[in-house]
Structure formats: structure tokens, C-alpha cells
Amino acid sequence: MGPERKKSHSSLQSSWKCQRSLIPSYLLSTYTKVSSLLFPRSGVGVTGSRQTLFYAEVTDQMRTGEGGGQPEEGELIEVVEIPLEDSMKFAYDETLPKTMGVIFSFMWFQNNIAPKLPKK
């Protein structure tokens, strides 16, 4: 791969996710092969990008710290605890900025996990 290809390859990586026609012809066959292996389903979500969400059940006894990431490493994570009974009110509150991924994760939890939890 020559230097001109390396430059094009790196400068277009972010464009590949948005519009496939921007892929240079000399990379098209490679990208098509790789994308068909990694992303067998076509299309994107409502956010215009691929997302992976993880769910884990934890208890207060498992907690090893306050949370919030490692500020010395540039992580600025704010821990927000929302009571289960207020979760959908939070999800649908348009005055609080949040991504569609957050809203969908709350909906997923309410539909798949909350019904199995013991009633208070």
C-alpha cells in the first residue's frame, strides 16, 4: 500500500460509517468483504451509528469505589443513580439531555428485567 493510499484510508475511515459510496474504489472490495463478515445485518440504528450496550447485575457489596472512572486518565464519568420507579419518567423527560441509546436501554430494562424483579 503506497503512502497516498494510507492517507486516503485513514482520512476516510469515519466517512465509511456514514456513506459507503465515499470508499475509494481500490478499498471497496476489501471493505465489502470485511464488513460482510463483521456486520452481517444491513442498516443502522436511530442514532446513525452502531452501539453496543452491556447489562450486568451488581450489588452494593461488589462496589469497590465511588465510581466515575479515573480522572487522572481523563475519564469524566458522572455516576447517576435513578430509582427504578422513576426510570421511565427520566427516560422520557425531554428537559434532561440523553441519547436514544440511553432511552432504549431503559425501555429494554423495563421490558426484560423489571418484570422479573421481586415486588417491594
pLDDT tens digit at each of 120 positions of the chain: 444 444 444 443 333 333 344 445 555 455 454 544 445 454 555 666 777 888 888 888 888 887 778 888 888 888 888 999 999 999 999 998 888 888 989 999 999 999 998 887
Q: Whole-angstrom Cα distance, residue 113 to residue 52?
A: 18
Question: Domain 60-116 in CATH: superfamily?
Answer: Nucleoside Triphosphate Pyrophosphohydrolase (3.90.79.10)
Backbone angles phi, psi at 98, to 5 degrees: -160, 155
Q: Which residues, other chains included, contact 68 with Cβ-Cβ below 8 Å and sequence gap of 6+?
A: 75, 77, 78, 79
Cell numbers for 103, please give them. Answer: 432511552
Q: Collapse the DSSP code of 96 into the 3-class scheme (helix H, G, I; strand E, B; otherwise coil) and give the result.
A: coil
Q: Are 47 and 101 in contact (CB under 8 A)?
A: yes
pTM (two decimals): 0.53
Cβ neighbours around 85 below 10 Å, total: 9
pLDDT of residue 23: 47
Location of C-alpha cell 452501539: 51
In eight-state DSSP terms, residue 113 is T
